[in-house]
Structure 1
Amino acid sequence: MTVNKFIRNLLNLKELSVTHVELHARKRTLDLWVKPYKNGCLCPHCHRRGRIVRIMDECRLWRDLTLYGCMVMLWYCPKEIMCPTHGRVQENIPWADDYARITYRFEYAMLVYCQIMSQKAAAQMLHIAQSTLSDLLHRSIERIRDGHRIRDLKAIGVDEISYCKGHKYATIVYDIKKACVVWVGKGKGEKTIDRFFKEMLSDYQKRKIKWATCDMSQAYINAIENHCPNVTLILDRFHIVKKLNEAVDEVRKEQWREASGDERKTLKGLRWLLYRHSSKRSKKDTWILNTLRKGNRRIHRAWVLKDEFEHFWDYKTHWAADRFIKRWTTTALKSRLEPIRRFVKTIRKHMHRILPYVETRMTNAVAEGLNRIIKIIKNRASGFRTLEAFTDLIFLTVGDLNIPEQIPKDFRTI
């Protein structure tokens, strides 16, 4: 076996041939002079062979993965060729992107490591400075995502996150079906989400959106319904339940403020019992709440209405759920509990956005799950100075484009 073949097999080098080797033991550096293997002088755009015009005077340098603590460097003098279609261009470099200083293999390892660990840990594993890795990482993500378009978007979710101190927010749009992030925009509110629909989607794509989920923010509701003519908007179940729990808790607070010292002892510790779902309560908890029938009828009435509303989520047909919600709202309005009455007005206002849940079972749970991953990304980096850097890491980890898979298949090795 020749030295050339041995090194190519040892380092798993593809698409290139080794012409010369130098090992610097003191510097822990392995220099390899290489050239394209059987496919040189190809146009980088159309991959047609061209006539050599000039050979570069100085060799270019690419960094490859570290081997047993030894830094591997590739050296080559690229050629300028005359392509029949694209004119005078630099020949295609099969092991790296145009004008890059790292190989595809190094780039793939960097992207995969940064998906699962902090940039500091990835820099230590790749034996480079953290600032250098950060610069290379964001350049790679921007290059790979350049020109990427959103495709096959049928169900979207909208939510917001805080990315920095000082009430700085970002709006995130999710693909509910594929469980990924498709867009991140600075700010929150209707103007921000309008930018997504105007800049990122065509009229045809807007018509293709069939379902959308969001919280009870009127800004998101208006933007989605204004831009998507065929959409069925479904308000998130979690936020509706949260709104009802807040109404019940407001009743408890009112009674607490009106109660005397002895009466407050019977009301103490009720907050979390009232929040608890019926399936999570013990018999003792239910007994305590039932004693309120004599101790405080207003809190007991609010709790009974809350427990009855839980049955709405179990319905399977639209007509049955519609009949239930109308009966429940009528009963709740007669309760003479002002916080509950305000909740009923909200329910009646959004009735056509709540009932579709019964048939679709669609919620914002996917978006909330992705939000948890996004928070992990932020905590892993101990925060980001700019939204652009944060956005790149979001797209790398939970984006709609699998960025490491865009590296040529032959170089996806670690």
Structure 2
Amino acid sequence: MLKTVVSEGIHVRAAAVINRLLGFEGTVVDDVCFTDTAMVVQVRLRSQVLVCPCGRTSRARYDRSRRKWRHVDFGRYRVVIEAEIRRVDCRGCGQVRSEWMPWARPGARHTRDFEDMACWLAKRMSKSAAAALLGTTWQTVDHLVARLVDTHLDSERLDAIYRIGVDEIAYRRGRKFLTVVADHDTGRVVFVGEGRRQDVFGRFLESLGEDGRARIEAVSMDMTAIYRGAATTHVPHAAICLDPFHVIKWAGEALDLAYQTCREQGVKIAVAGLTPAQTWQKARGALRQPAGQHDPTRTAIIEQLRRKHPRIHHAWRLKEDLRRLYQVPTSDAADHLRRWINRAKRSGINAFVTLARRLRRHRTGILNAIHLQLSNSLLESINAGIRLIQRRSHGYADLDNLIEMIHLCHGGITTSLPTETH
């Protein structure tokens, strides 16, 4: 049963305090009522002019009704905003619509502050935890997130992109993948599609339209050919930039094969303070680590390999020289890569001969990445964020919910707490 503040003087002062706490623009608190668990605040608009959500104003009322909105809690009380809302037959949009309210978005049953709080929390914790903190259900939080993404995801985010990156991420066991496309200049996710297939990326490129595809200057990707076909088909003028990380990864894998061959031949090496077995255990780490990060022990191991197994030392030098491809001046990169390929082909080390052939096939994409200074590191960081989203909520049964959360957290949607001042 509702209990209204009795004393008229106290009632006026309480209404003034509540009005200040709510901070709703152009709004007057008429009454404050309490139940055992909730505080119902009855408000009205100061202006008699009706404002349609499209922005057009009118004084012609179509009809009216009373409506309630859930607000952020005050202490241990749930807060409910109650007001008379009018509908206007708007000539601007040609529809009968509910008037714009300063405390809620059009069509919402929660105030702006409640929605902003829910979405801010959903970015940082599971929806169940956010719901428990707000005193609602996770389904409500899920609905608010979907509503925010639908209305605030920048519809013009595709209008100015010209350098993009594409990568895949597994979201479920059984080889279930998502294709993620990001804008290199804003760092935002611009597309998420189900599947790791050429047609998924192709659909995104088609959605850009002819003018949008013409603006694309560069596409970064890893070494797999999944997305390369779509890029060459839909944006043949764009420079394909192959991720430097994967080039160095290939060199590391080739070095591992050479290392394994060396171990099988039974060559013994040892440095001071380590047995031959311990030396070999550290040798692999010394070979894979950049030379500039070696400590004295690993430097001694490399020297032992140079003296007792020059073949694997040569493989290590090739790996280090390939790493320097991304450190030399851009103007020298093409010559450096050409010389490296020739050296690797003449090395006689099968793994590096094979690697030289692979790099020769991908030479243009590798050099594009160097000249344009593009890599897939942005996509890798986004993928790490997606894994965090999944771990936080212990997975998503509905893929659409996961995609909404990706756009919320990485799509450039700004969420702020009601208490933040600007």
Tell me whether the two structures share a fold, i.e. TM-score over 0.5.
Answer: yes
**2:9 aligned partner:** none
Alignment of 1:166-185 (within 5 A): 166-185=174-193
Do residues 297 (structure 1) and 310 (structure 2) align? yes
Matched residue SS, 1:97: coil
Matched residue SS, 2:51: coil
- Asked whether the equivalents of residues 169 and 188 of structure 1 are also in contact (C-alpha less than 8 Å), the reply is yes
**TM-fit CA distance, 1:122:** 1.8
State the distance in 2 between where 1:163 and 1:402 align: 22
The AA in structure 2 aligned to 1:152 is A
- Asked whether the equivalents of residues 207 and 229 of structure 1 are also in contact (C-alpha less than 8 Å), the reply is no
Matched residue SS, 2:171: strand
* Structure 1, 36-45 or 259-268: larger mean CA deviation: 259-268
After superposition, the Cα gap between the structure-2 partners of 1:106 and 1:344, relative to the gap in structure 1 and judged at 3 Å, is same
The AA in structure 2 aligned to 1:127 is G
Do residues 378 (structure 1) and 390 (structure 2) align? yes
**1:161 aligned partner:** 169
Matched residue SS, 1:13: coil
After superposition, the Cα gap between the structure-2 partners of 1:139 and 1:43, relative to the gap in structure 1 and judged at 3 Å, is closer
Do residues 9 (structure 1) and 20 (structure 2) align? yes
- Asked whether the equivalents of residues 60 and 88 of structure 2 are also in contact (C-alpha less than 8 Å), the reply is yes
Matched residue SS, 2:374: coil
Matched residue SS, 1:33: strand
After superposition, the Cα gap between the structure-2 partners of 1:212 and 1:116, relative to the gap in structure 1 and judged at 3 Å, is same
- Asked whether the equivalents of residues 108 and 411 of structure 1 are also in contact (C-alpha less than 8 Å), the reply is no
**2:234 aligned partner:** 227
**TM-fit CA distance, 1:278:** 1.1
Identity over aligned pairs, percent: 26
State the distance in 2 between where 1:300 and 1:15 align: 77
**TM-fit CA distance, 1:317:** 3.2
**1:248 aligned partner:** 255
The AA in structure 2 aligned to 1:354 is I
* Structure 1, 279-288 or 65-74: larger mean CA deviation: 279-288
State the distance in 1 between where 2:48 and 2:235 align: 49
Alignment of 1:127-146 (within 5 A): 127-145=135-153
Structure 2 unaligned blocks of 5 or more: 1-11, 271-275
**TM-fit CA distance, 1:337:** 1.2
**TM-fit CA distance, 1:118:** 2.4
State the distance in 2 between where 1:292 and 1:96 align: 71
**2:100 aligned partner:** 92
**TM-fit CA distance, 1:64:** 0.6
State the distance in 2 between where 1:88 and 1:116 align: 38
The AA in structure 1 aligned to 2:43 is V
State the distance in 2 between where 1:53 and 1:142 align: 28
Matched residue SS, 2:62: strand
The AA in structure 2 aligned to 1:48 is T
**1:271 aligned partner:** 284
* Aligned match for 1:51, one of 60, 64, 68: 60
**1:213 aligned partner:** 220
* Structure 1, 106-115 or 366-375: larger mean CA deviation: 366-375
Structure 1 unaligned blocks of 5 or more: none
Matched residue SS, 1:78: strand
* Aligned match for 2:356, one of 324, 339, 344: 344
Matched residue SS, 1:159: strand
State the distance in 1 between where 2:184 and 2:305 align: 42
- Asked whether the equivalents of residues 173 and 182 of structure 1 are also in contact (C-alpha less than 8 Å), the reply is yes
State the distance in 2 between where 1:365 and 1:282 align: 28
State the distance in 2 between where 1:136 and 1:30 align: 22
**TM-fit CA distance, 1:148:** 5.6
After superposition, the Cα gap between the structure-2 partners of 1:134 and 1:230, relative to the gap in structure 1 and judged at 3 Å, is same
**TM-score for both structures, normalised by structure 2:** 0.87
**TM-fit CA distance, 1:91:** 2.5
**TM-fit CA distance, 1:308:** 2.0
The AA in structure 2 aligned to 1:104 is R
The AA in structure 1 aligned to 2:182 is Y
**2:128 aligned partner:** 120
**TM-score for both structures, normalised by structure 1:** 0.89
Matched residue SS, 2:106: coil
After superposition, the Cα gap between the structure-2 partners of 1:310 and 1:4, relative to the gap in structure 1 and judged at 3 Å, is same
**TM-fit CA distance, 1:222:** 2.2
The AA in structure 1 aligned to 2:309 is N
Matched residue SS, 1:218: coil
Matched residue SS, 1:219: coil
- Asked whether the equivalents of residues 211 and 234 of structure 1 are also in contact (C-alpha less than 8 Å), the reply is yes
* Aligned match for 1:78, one of 85, 90, 94: 85
State the distance in 2 between where 1:332 and 1:53 align: 80
Cα shift readout 1:229-249 (whole Å, capped 9, x = no counterpart) = 432222111110001100111
Do residues 152 (structure 1) and 160 (structure 2) align? yes
State the distance in 1 between where 2:265 and 2:173 align: 38
The AA in structure 2 aligned to 1:191 is D
- Asked whether the equivalents of residues 208 and 230 of structure 1 are also in contact (C-alpha less than 8 Å), the reply is no
Matched residue SS, 1:132: helix
Cα shift readout 1:352-381 (whole Å, capped 9, x = no counterpart) = 111234333222222222222222212111
- Asked whether the equivalents of residues 109 and 413 of structure 1 are also in contact (C-alpha less than 8 Å), the reply is no
State the distance in 2 between where 1:107 and 1:391 align: 19
State the distance in 2 between where 1:244 and 1:261 align: 24
Do residues 310 (structure 1) and 326 (structure 2) align? no
- Asked whether the equivalents of residues 108 and 412 of structure 1 are also in contact (C-alpha less than 8 Å), the reply is no
